[in-house]
Amino acid sequence: SPRPRKHFIETAIDEDLQAGKFEAVHTRFPPEPNGYLHIGHAKSICLNFGLAKNYGGTCNLRFDDTNPSKEETEYVESIQEDVRWLGFQWDELQYASDYFEQLYEWAERLIEKGKAYVCELSAEQTREYRGTLTEPGKNSPYRDRDPKENLDLFRRMKAGEFPDGSKTLRAKIDMASPNLNLRDPVMYRIMKAHHHRTGDRWCIYPMYDWAHGQSDSIEGISFSICTLEFENHRPLYDWYCDSLEIHHPRQIEFARLNLTYTVMSKRKLLQLVKEKHVGGWDDPRMPTISGLRRRGYTPESIRNFCADVGVAKFNSTIDVVRLENSIREHLNRVAPRRMAVMDPIKLTITNWPKDKVEMCSVINNPEDESAGKREVPFSGHLLIQQEDFREEAPRKFFRLKKGGAVRLRGAFIIDCHDVVKDDDGNVIEILCTYDPETRSGQDQSGRKVKGTIHWVSADHASEIEVRDYDRLFGVENPDAAEEGKTFLDYLNPDSLTVRTAFVEPALAEAQIGDRVQFERVGYFVVDPDSKAGSLVMNRIVGLRDTWGK
């Protein structure tokens, strides 16, 4: 397909490179290690790593680990695994916490320049003094302390002399600025907390805005790409770099990815995990990368989805059907076809020689000739889907009915002549004859039938567990909860149905992570819960978008 028109970030990069503002494209993906990555992060990953690749530049993975209270090593590891799985390799792996010393020195530099001060207002007072969008803020009574005193107090903050929350370091900018972020933002707070990497070495921790841009600068980032909610933080980003007279990256904002029928905030995802509404971060219903991986999504399908959604300047919500279509489209090309019967009924071929087994050669993937064929055992005792048979059916029912004929995929045309019923009158067995002249691929009979159905040989099939997943939430936007409700009230109670399926013997060799198309049913993946001899498969997505119909 032709390369799409450049998006606004590429245009901005082109301008800056041409103007000589930067020599190369250095981007970074900066997650806070306070949860697992989700599909929104995938968009940011594809964008940052993708730009570096397209421009022959570099992209760092940087852990924005400046808030010790919510961060854990488990997250640091899962994030690396997920970025790699998506198909990207960082140039440098960095931790903002490694810059604590440098940040501290720079803070002292701002104090010396009279651009930062130690403030003793409480958190609540600080908020009050800050003013509102319509009202200017008030100067803190500590704002005009002289640099010497500030330096002394700041050093003692660092030394642990003061209790948590008793003092902050604030940038001295403009309490009347129309931009609230510029009303003397807090740079450091006192927090005697254990950090997952720096241990107990620090008891003052930098605020996000102070740490983020400086980390970008230290790494020589040229384009600091972030989501729209940081647009009005950009003046502060610029103020810090300018005041320190350090390398000054260009911040560019783009719209977050939102998806229907799910939530994407890490706080909410954590709550789903902690309260056991799902089996874990990698539950196949979660919008996390690890959940999508376990669900059976391929890295390629996620990358294609992100490219297809594109980069925008305005927030919007993307229909999850587009994500589902991206995996359908990929698996249609690459997934081998197999036969599985979910809701079986016996079908006996009355003219088949007793105990005879014949192998049928069945095409693995009509979209990919190189996938070849496989041998599927055919016998006189078969299973088909109940829904593929009706004793009496309207003319347009192209599956099997009494007195009718159908083709068994890869095998023969069969004619149904009778049924066996239980005492209640339910059909429990279908009796058919096969037509030996109609073997698939060698059919010289000239017979035509309208329908083809799938089947398995009852004695050769293995029984597996199938987990049929549906959307985690029953409404498009669970974030928009009605009064008195939370997003949890919109969980879909039927998001998981466990069934049994009978599958052809070729599945016996399937490995964890293998994906197949069960013909006429959907795409499935082998779940890590599988054990030798007891396969568990997750439904990735149905063949067509039939949700809600």
| Selection from 242, 498, 519 nearest residue 364 by Cα | 519
Alpha carbon distance, N-terminus to C-terminus of the chain: 32
Rounded to 5°, the CA angle 295-300-304 comes to 105
Residues forming beta bridges with residue 226, ordered by sequence position:
253
* β-bridge mates for residue 515, sequence order: 525
* Closest to ligand ATP by CB, 204 or 264: 264
Backbone angles phi, psi at 491, to 5 degrees: -60, 140
Rounded distance, CA 119 to CA 122, Å? 9
Minimum CB distance to Mg ion smaller for 32 or for 429: 32
Q: Which of 41, 62, 212, 539 binds ligand ATP (CB under 6 A)?
A: 41
DSSP string, 108-138: HHHHHTT-EEEE---HHHHHHHH--SSS---
**Using CB distances below 5 to 8 A depending on partner kind, what does residue 219 bind out of Mg ion, ligand ATP, none?**
none
Interaction pattern, residues 19-58, with Mg ion; x per rule: CB under 5 A: -------------x--------------------------
Q: Out of 109, 192, 256, 520, pick the active-site residue.
A: 256
Q: Which of 189, 266, 467, 515 is catalytic?
A: 266
Q: How far apart are CA 337 and CA 465, in angstroms?
A: 18
Binding site partner of 471, from ligand ATP, Mg ion, none, Cβ cut-off 5-8 A by kind = none
Among positions 9, 22, 30, 432, the unique one binding ligand ATP when judged by CB under 6 A: 30
Please confirm, yes or no, whether 32 is among the known catalytic residues. yes
Is residue 257 a contact point for ligand ATP (CB under 6 A)? yes
Per rule CB under 6 A, count of chain residues that contact ligand ATP: 15
For ligand ATP, which stretch binds (CB under 6 A), given 39-47, 145-153, 160-168, 365-373?
39-47
Least distance in angstroms from the C-beta of 18 to Mg ion: 31
* Residue list 462-501, contact with ligand ATP (CB under 6 A): none
List own/partner pairs for 292-297 with CB under 8 A and 24 or more apart.
292/39, 293/82, 293/85, 294/525, 294/527, 294/528, 294/538, 295/469, 295/525, 295/538, 295/540, 296/327, 296/515, 296/523, 296/524, 296/525, 296/538, 296/540, 296/541, 297/327, 297/540
On whether the CB atoms of residues 400 and 416 are closer than 8 A, the answer is yes
328 is catalytic: no
Three-point CA angle 300, 88, 8, nearest 5°: 80
236-249 burial, b at 16+ Cβ within 10 Å, e below that, comes to bbebbbebbebebb
Of residues 26 and 439, the one with the C-beta less far from ligand ATP = 26
256 binds, among Mg ion, ligand ATP, none (CB under 5 to 8 A by kind): ligand ATP
Q: Does 238 bind ligand ATP (CB under 6 A)?
A: no
Q: Which is nearer to ligand ATP, 153 or 311 (CB)?
A: 311
Please pick, from the candidates 43, 189, 328, 402, the single residue that binds ligand ATP as defined by CB under 6 A.
43
User: Which CB, 41 or 158, lies closer to ligand ATP?
Assistant: 41
Any contact of residue 73 with ligand ATP (CB under 6 A)?
no
> What SS3 string covers 97-116?
HHHHHHHHHHHHHHHHCCCE
Asked if 170 is an active-site residue, the reply is no
Q: Is 265 in the site for ligand ATP (CB under 6 A)?
A: yes
Q: State the catalytic residue, choosing from 10, 32, 358, 476.
A: 32
Cα separation values, 520 from 134, 367, 388, Å: 61, 15, 11
Cβ distance to ligand ATP smaller for residue 256 or 277: 256
Return the closest-CA partner of residue 45 out of 89, 3, 6. 89
Q: Is the Cβ of residue 48 or residue 150 nearer to ligand ATP in the bound state?
A: 48
Contact segment (CB under 6 A) with ligand ATP among 30-38, 231-239, 270-278, 529-537 equals: 30-38
Three-state DSSP state, 466: strand
Q: Does 155 bind ligand ATP (CB under 6 A)?
A: no
Question: Which residues are known catalytic residues?
Answer: 32, 256, 266
> Which residues bind to ligand ATP, rule: CB under 6 A?
30-32, 40-41, 43-44, 64, 226-227, 256-257, 264-266
